[in-house]
């Protein structure tokens, strides 16, 4: 199954006899909290209008656990909480799931990755998110029949800090953050800037076209090949600030036909441990 679905394809499937479960995971990271900027309210955005039948899922509360220096800003969720949220949304292992967000794709990819990691075989991300949707929107909150999905973790690769460090030496570890954070020029959130020694800078934004959709699979494959990914022959891992935008990079790799492992703790966990090495500048080492 393709990892992404276009808006026209989703509209056709929603009109069919076996429509997918649709999850709205609108979320936005704030880098301006110190300036007093208001937090983005995904639930309010959902209430203002969503794809018909879509159920809202909260990234911070249902797709991640409590933040801590030891685990990072968006650690793995409690599986009981995650499973309950998925069942309440109508998710079954036998029924397709489509996830979307506000267009950035990061939050939707996090939900996609979690469902895959916990064993769901048929989940896709709406390419371009809600801005790509040309159908009607509704404000009514649906009441789906509860699903029977039970998370079974381990279906796809997951890295911890030590595994990420080892993969940076033995395979390809991609850093999905902006290049200036990778170099250590700036660090708006975490304790220190820089990157895991050996990691390769690969900003997530370069996976997309100007309209926010994924670049064609051959272009993505060429991009990752230029970063040292040899088409799947070697191990590939991805991290970011807190395991959200990195999920989007794992999704882009999947579109290109390449399996990759996610380091969920990412830089927020790595950099909080003063014993772990930090590299700066444009070079991996």
- Residues known to be catalytic: 240
Contact 248, 260 (CB under 8 A): no
Q: What is the DSSP letter of 60?
A: H
User: How far is CA 222 from each of CA 171, 199, 207, 226, rounded to the nearest angstrom?
Assistant: 18, 19, 11, 6
Question: Alpha-carbon distance 9 to 228, whole Å?
Answer: 33
Which residues does 190 contact at the CB level (< 8 Å), separation at least 6? Answer: 241, 267, 268, 271, 272
Contact 88, 148 (CB under 8 A): no
Closest CA to 284 of 189, 225, 202: 202
* Token digits of residue 192: 């220190």
Ranges of beta strands (E only) in 11-104 are 21-24, 55-56, 97-100
């Amino acid at each position: 199954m393709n990892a992404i679905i276009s808006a026209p394809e989703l509209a056709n499937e929603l009109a069919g006899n076996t429509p997918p479960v649709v999850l709205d995971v609108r979320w936005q990271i704030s880098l301006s909290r110190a300036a007093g900027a208001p937090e983005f309210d995904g639930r309010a955005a959902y209430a203002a209008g969503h794809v018909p039948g879509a159920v809202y899922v909260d990234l911070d509360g249902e797709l991640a656990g409590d933040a801590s220096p030891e685990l990072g800003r968006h650690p793995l969720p409690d599986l009981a909480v995650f499973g309950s949220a998925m069942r309440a949304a109508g998710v079954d292992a036998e029924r397709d799931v489509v996830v979307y967000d506000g267009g950035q794709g990061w939050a939707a990819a996090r939900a996609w990755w979690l469902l895959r990691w916990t064993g769901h075989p048929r989940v896709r991300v709406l390419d371009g998110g809600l801005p790509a949707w040309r159908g009607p929107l509704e404000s009514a909150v649906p009441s789906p029949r509860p699903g029977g999905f039970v998370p079974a973790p381990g279906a796809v690769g997951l890295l911890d800090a030590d595994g990420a460090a080892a993969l940076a030496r033995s395979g390809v570890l991609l850093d999905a953050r902006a290049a200036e954070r990778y170099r250590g020029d700036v660090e708006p959130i975490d304790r220190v800037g820089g990157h895991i020694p050996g990691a390769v800078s690969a900003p997530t934004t370069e996976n997309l076209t100007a309209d926010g959709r994924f670049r064609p699979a051959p272009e993505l494959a060429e991009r990752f090949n230029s970063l040292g990914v040899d088409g799947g022959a070697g191990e590939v891992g991805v991290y970011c600030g807190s395991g959200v935008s990195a999920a989007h990079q794992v999704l882009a790799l999947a579109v290109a036909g390449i399996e990759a492992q996610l380091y969920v703790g990412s830089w927020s966990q790595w950099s909080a441990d003063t014993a772990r090495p930090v590299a700066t500048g444009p070079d991996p080492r």
